[in-house]
Amino acid sequence: MADTFRSSIPIPVFRGENYDFWSIKMKTYFCAQDLWDIVNNGYSIPNDISTLSAVQKKELKENQQKDSQALLALQISLAAEYFPRIMGAKTAKEAWDKLQEEFQGNEKVRATRLQTLRRKFENLKMLDSETAKDYYSRVNEVVNQLRAYGENFPESKIVSKILITCTEKYDPIIAAIEESKDIEKLI
């Protein structure tokens, strides 16, 4: 049953755009296949396998199998022009890390991108011509990008941001919400 399940789930394809979205989908795919730990943390191969117990050998073989499945999934998930970037990778972790480094950047690049997104979030204001739904979508898009970079972003901060930055035409609604002190229900 598990093998049938694995083969029936389509693997998201990365074509060079929206790496953050693709990586989230791949992480979910790996979690569904019980492969995420191998991709994220890798596994170690002892120098001398002959000293391993039968249980340790079995665990090593299972880890190697999972790693091969994850590496294959990564290879399949890349459009042909991006496959050469990981074709030399021996493990799924190595391939995953190479893709992350290239398309999301190193720690310094990610920190800079996070700072840019934080600034973008802080500067968001509702436009006069914008509906509440459209504004929420714009705010949520920035928040999702922040979260994709690992930022812990509480819902209460989003609600506060929206209530503070709505246009004047929403003042009576915001006043009613604040007066009822029922902001927690919005979260």
Considering the domain architecture, whether residues 73 and 138 belong to the same structural domain is answered as no
Question: Per-residue pLDDT tens for 66-111?
Answer: 999 999 999 999 999 999 999 999 999 999 999 988 888 767 877 8
C-alpha–C-alpha distance, residues 154 and 115, integer Å: 17
Token readout for 100 is: 């992350």
Closest by CA to 182, choosing from 154, 152, 159, is: 159
- Of 63, 79, 104, which one is at a domain's C-terminal end? 104
Considering the domain architecture, whether residues 79 and 92 belong to the same structural domain is answered as yes
- Of 49, 80, 104, which one is at a domain's C-terminal end? 104
Question: Per-residue pLDDT tens for 49-71?
Answer: 888 899 999 999 999 999 999 99
Considering the domain architecture, whether residues 112 and 100 belong to the same structural domain is answered as no
| Cα dihedral sign, 90-92-95-101 | negative
| Cα dihedral sign, 145-17-15-78 | negative
Which residues are 78's β-sheet partners?
Answer: 14
| Cα dihedral sign, 69-70-76-77 | positive
Structural domains of the chain, count? 2
Considering the domain architecture, whether residues 113 and 93 belong to the same structural domain is answered as no
Please tell me the pTM assigned to this model: 0.65
Considering the domain architecture, whether residues 73 and 154 belong to the same structural domain is answered as no
Considering the domain architecture, whether residues 100 and 111 belong to the same structural domain is answered as no
The fraction of the chain above a pLDDT of 90, given in percent, is 55
Considering the domain architecture, whether residues 17 and 99 belong to the same structural domain is answered as yes
The residue segments making up the domain with residue 159 are 107-186
- One-letter amino acid at 86 equals I
